[in-house]
Chain A
Amino acid sequence: MKRYKSLAMATAALAAMAIGSVATAQQSMEDPAREGYYSALKGKKVVFVPVFMGLDLTEGWSKLMATQAEALGYDYEVRNSNFNTAAGAQTITSLISEKPDVIVVQNPDVQSYARLLKRAEDAGIAVIQLNMKTNILTTGFVGADVIAIGEAQAKAAAEVCGGGDTPGKILVLAGPPTSPFSAYMLRGYENILNDRDDVEIVSVQSTGAYESTKAKSITQVVVQQHPDLCATLGVWDAPDIGTAAALAEAGLTDQVFVSTSGGGGELACKGIREDMWDHYVSYDVPGQGRDLNALISQALQDTNEVGARKTVLYTPLVEFDKSNVDEQSCWTLDSLK
């Protein structure tokens, strides 16, 4: 009996020791990746060269980039080119000699910065292009697949206008002719509409530098010529405020299907709710910010030669209209964290 007792005691003691040792092991342990990660980021420098600050898009991206920079302890800076391509080129040129670690650039058109961006990469600066792409690939691209936006908009318009009930007349309101958001978007529209006999693009006009006043006058002239206009396809939400205003004044809000696209900010939900637009393709700025921050972090940690690896991250697009606008979380600057 006594023997059993001591055996039980021994077992209990052993068990206690085992539990105790496990508890010791659970107390703490070093994550081997951590130190390398933070030290790779600390003190690095990232510069953002936007086409223009003061827009919901650029302010949104910039806030998200600044937040990560602060959390991870690297420098973040904005050099605004104020819608001036020459000033932007100048900025990039001087950055090439300043040698930050990463340049995040939004291209005003498909051509202007291309060579400079290549020179920057040759100089060892990783270049991440944001939403507006030039015609060369660099370390990274984060942004919408503009052709896909165009196709989504054109499909929605063709669904409403096709079928032969109406003449299927469509007005296209593009941006500056060489902007990726005009050139690629038009390709997207053409991909869908060129195959259709029941719809017809009656006019393709540029709104200049995305001017809503210009969008308004163009729309007013075109509805005079084509009172049976069926749809407008616009490349960006800001000028399409003018498009909607023109249609409202002509009493055609219900007749004309207005499709537009943008970053999905509060204006997007407001525009759909207030019947300015009927269809919106969002490229989701908060999602893009996340992708962008991931690419920046990757570029800062990368020890390979700059430009050896090129990553393209097309943003998943979100389409919405009045039926599902309430399910969208249209962001504001304050809601971006």
Chain B
Amino acid sequence: MKNLFSSLNFDQQTIVTILFAVLFVVFAFWLPGFTSTGNLLELVRSVSVLGILGLGMAIVVIGRGIDLSMIATLAVPASLVMTLAASGYHPAVAIGAGLLFAIATGILNGVLVAYAEIPALFTTLAVGIGVAGIGQSGMFEYDIVAWPPALDSIAWIGRGKIFGLPYSILAFGVAALAVHIFLKKTRLGFFIYALGDNLAAARISGIRVRPIIILQYVICAVIALFAGLVLAASAHSMDTRIFNLTWIYDVILVVVLGGIGLSGGRGGVMNVIVGTLLIGTIVNGMTILNVSYQGQNLVRGLVLLTALMIDSILNPRNEETAKQGDI
């Protein structure tokens, strides 16, 4: 059983890796300066926040859920941290409050999905709108919250470099490693695969699935807060309006493109990294080429479609591979 899954992963992941390699070689050949160290670091840096978000989403998707509230959980708790710090609270208190907010959001998602058994799609959509609404209804003076000087002691997580390596890339790396260890080396991580693969079987074999479902949304929310702080530190501000943008689709895109099926139970950190790098390469190359905004969206859509088409040709759905709940 496990062999079957890993071979499936391998296929989807390989397709995207090959696509990434082809694009990379084409850009390296045609675009002067594309392969310079500075540009390659910039390529990864520009998608590191997306990658961190992808890691959180991956945990939930592997457990056969989805978290559409992630962008709201990225924006609002992080803005809360900044607002509290700006109004004189100690950074630790501010971060603690943000963390509590994020965890509460995760628990709310988890309880509604695990105990009330409302489909994750609707639960997290509603919770996301709610959290964004709390943020927009007067929690902050403006929708764009500035990074306060009081938090400059932790601003390095999104700015600057260590030994030439931007800290945001490092943050992505650390998060990737942590999530990888959690998923592959801990029992809880294994349980997430188990319940994502077959919830009923996992429950029959003695796993307490509901608390684990809650846990997976809590981890996702905490990762979103972390990504939010990296993003805010990097851009010197947090625009709470990003909930209204299409970011959440980019996050799902990275996860699915990398080969983590929405039906759950498969995939890992490598899939997220490959998906993120592919998106990063496309955006970076097209920015260098000075392709227009509409053009970039078009190309991104085409690349995604290509990946999905190749996948469905090489791995046609059949009764063995298609599962109930596959979107």
Contacts and interface: CB of A to CB of B under 8 A. Distances in A.
B201 interface: no
Contact of A54 (B45, B161, B241, B287): B241
A203 B293 CA distance: 12
Interface stretch (B12-20, B173-181, B228-236): B228-236
A204 B295 CA distance: 13
B266 to A, nearest CB: 31
Nearest to B43: A221
Interface residues of B, number: 39
A329 interface: no
Contacts of A52: 143, 241
Interface stretch (A117-125, A132-140, A209-217): A209-217
Is the interface on chain A under 10, 10 to 19, 20 to 34, or 35 or more residues? 35 or more
Nearest to A226: B33
A71 B233 CA distance: 43
Interface in B85-126: none
B293 A205 contact: yes
A276 to B, nearest CB: 8
Nearest to B38: A224
B39 A208 contact: no
A222 interface: yes
A136 to B, nearest CB: 24
Interface string A158-181: 000000000000000000110000
A84 B293 contact: no
Interface in B264-314: 283-284, 287-288, 290, 292-294
B159 interface: yes
Contact of B287 (A84, A211, A221): A221
Contacts of B241: 52, 54, 83, 209
Nearest to A267: B146
B163 interface: no
A242 interface: yes
A82 interface: yes
A221 B288 contact: yes
Contacts of B244: 82-84, 209
A241 B235 contact: yes
A282 interface: no
Interface string B131-145: 000001000111110
A11 to B, nearest CB: 71
Interface string A186-222: 0000000000000000111110110111001110111
Contact of A211 (B33, B46, B239): B239
A55 to B, nearest CB: 6
A245 B159 contact: yes
Contacts of B1: none
B316 interface: no
Contacts of A176: 293
Contacts of A208: 245, 293
Contacts of B46: 217, 220-221
A225 B142 contact: no
B242 interface: yes
B102 to A, nearest CB: 20
The 9 A-B residue pairs whose C-beta atoms are closest, nearest first, are A54-B143, A206-B293, A217-B46, A224-B39, A212-B235, A221-B287, A83-B244, A213-B235, A203-B290
Given A213-B231, A221-B46, 20 more contacts: A52-B241, A53-B136, A54-B240, A82-B136, A177-B292, A203-B290, A204-B290, A205-B290, A205-B293, A209-B241, A209-B245, A213-B239, A216-B235, A225-B33, A225-B39, A238-B144, A241-B237, A242-B235, A245-B234, A267-B146
Interface of B: 32-33, 36, 38-39, 42-43, 45-46, 49, 136, 140-144, 146, 159-161, 231, 234-237, 239-242, 244-245, 283-284, 287-288, 290, 292-294
Interface of A: 52-56, 59, 82-84, 176-177, 202-206, 208-209, 211-213, 216-218, 220-222, 224-225, 238, 241-242, 244-245, 249, 267, 333
28 contacts: A52-B241, A54-B140, A54-B142, A54-B144, A55-B144, A82-B136, A177-B293, A202-B290, A203-B287, A204-B290, A206-B292, A208-B245, A208-B293, A209-B244, A209-B245, A213-B49, A221-B43, A221-B284, A221-B288, A224-B33, A224-B38, A224-B42, A238-B144, A238-B237, A238-B239, A249-B160, A267-B146, A333-B141
